[in-house]
A = this chain, B = another copy of it.
Amino acid sequence: MNQRGAADGCGEPQGFRRHGGAPFTVSVVLPAGGTGERTGLPTPKQFCTVLNRPLISYTIQAFERLSWIQHIVVVVAGESNALMTDIIQRFQHTKVRVVSGGATRHRSIFNGVRALDAGKSGATPDVVIIHDAVRPFVEEDFLFEIAMAAKENGASGAIRPLVSTVIATSSEDYLDHSLERSKYRASEMPQGFLYHVIYQAYQKCSEVDFDFGTECLQLALQHTGTQAKLIEGPPTLWKVTYKRDLAAAESIIKESLCGSACIISDGSERSRELGQCLQRVMGSFDMELDVLPDVIGDASCLSKEWNFIQLSVNGSGLPEVEETVRALEAANRALLHPIVVVWVRFDTSDGLSIMETGARPLLLVELASAAKLQNILLYGIHLHFSEKDAGWSDGSVKRLAELTYTLIHDRNAILAGQMLHA
């Protein structure tokens, strides 16, 4: 998710295609019944929203965008059923089925596994991937590795180096001994299983396993003799557990959305110059900018980009901004992430002060309110200089770039419709 391609949800399928087609079928079980007590928030963490969208929808999307994933079974506590169904409709998820969880994590996962049974979903998958709803940043290449290793070994799982030393305690909370870190790993998600391995492991489970077992890999070992292949995963696999993790997740998602922007010039010489100048300065923020004459004519920009900077010199420019917003709405582009449109109004009129030209047109307020309902965040920035000067000053372009970057990066819906000054 911290790469551009991962966030756009419309990249080419890699994985199986690159490796020569899908040699077996893969489906997913996402246990999402947790209550999230540890976040300190009233909402279970998988349903907490980041940029106005529940975390679980990001996790679903991480799988749904992969052509080689067939079905995604989300297992929720009974009382969350309606909420989950609403999320699926609102974000137009297509591969998801919702089933009700059991009293413990293992009972819930088994419910999910059973829901993938041939009789219920058409065809039993060869491999089942089990993942946490609160680990939204899983990448295709790693999922591919897990699926392949599960096919070959019967079971596979993500591991990470231990962050802290693990110690054994005596009965009365005194140090007994510390473990040698190099021999142990943290077991994370995703994990992969041949369908019959995970099914059999749960069928043979005792009630104690169902109630207190923590590790699917251990159940597969114990009940089917399958020794799981362990694969070190990236740090982005971490589990959103505390309130602070929601802030971390938000920052990763925001970063993934601000790697590039599309500058739409109004066709004038001045506007092209300003666009090129802005392109240079924004490079220092690690943001790539394409300069285009208009957005409507460029389908690739309209279908991929999360950020648009529309330049207008001396004219109002708002009708063109409205056109851009309409095109984005028509393409249903802001379904998964808010899109930012920054209207840069550039004024070269002499004699008029900021007091007179820099105010906020009411049309901007109205346009921004309407756009916000479609998840499109529209802001204005006013930039003035006198024709008597040689051109814009480095200082004002730098301020313009900083303001533009901060608006794009922060995606703050409260500031939509505001007119800032560079």
Interface residues of A (CB under 8 A from B): 38, 153, 155, 157, 159-160, 162-170, 173-175, 177-179, 181, 183-188, 214-215, 217-218, 221, 227-231, 235, 238-239, 241-242, 244-245, 247-252, 354-356, 358-362, 365, 402-403, 405-406, 410, 412, 414-415, 418-421
Contact = CB atoms under 8 A, between A and B. Distances in A.
Contacts of A406: 412, 414-415
A218 to B, nearest CB: 4
Copies of the polypeptide in the assembly: 2
Contact of A186 (B165, B241, B242, B361): B165
A230 B177 contact: no
B227 A175 contact: yes
Contacts of A170: 227
A187 B163 CA distance: 10
A165 B414 contact: no
Given A244-B248, A414-B402, A164 B178 contact: no
A232 to B, nearest CB: 8
A106 to B, nearest CB: 13
Contacts of A412: 406, 410
A250 B246 CA distance: 12
A403 to B, nearest CB: 6
The secondary structure that dominates the A interface is mixed
B244 A178 contact: no
Given A354-B359, A362-B354, A230 B187 contact: no
B414 A217 contact: no
A421 B360 contact: yes
Given A163-B239, A421-B360, A169 B184 contact: yes
A166 B178 contact: no
A164 B183 contact: no
A235 B242 contact: yes
Contacts of A162: 166
Nearest to A247: B251
A157 to B, nearest CB: 7
A160 B248 CA distance: 20
Contact of A215 (B160, B178, B217, B415): B178
Contact of A230 (B157, B169, B217, B402): B169
A361 to B, nearest CB: 8
Nearest to A162: B166
Contact of A228 (B175, B217, B415): B175
Quick one: which of A165, A169, A231 has the most chain B CB within 10 A? A165
A228 B406 CA distance: 48
Contacts of A168: 183-184
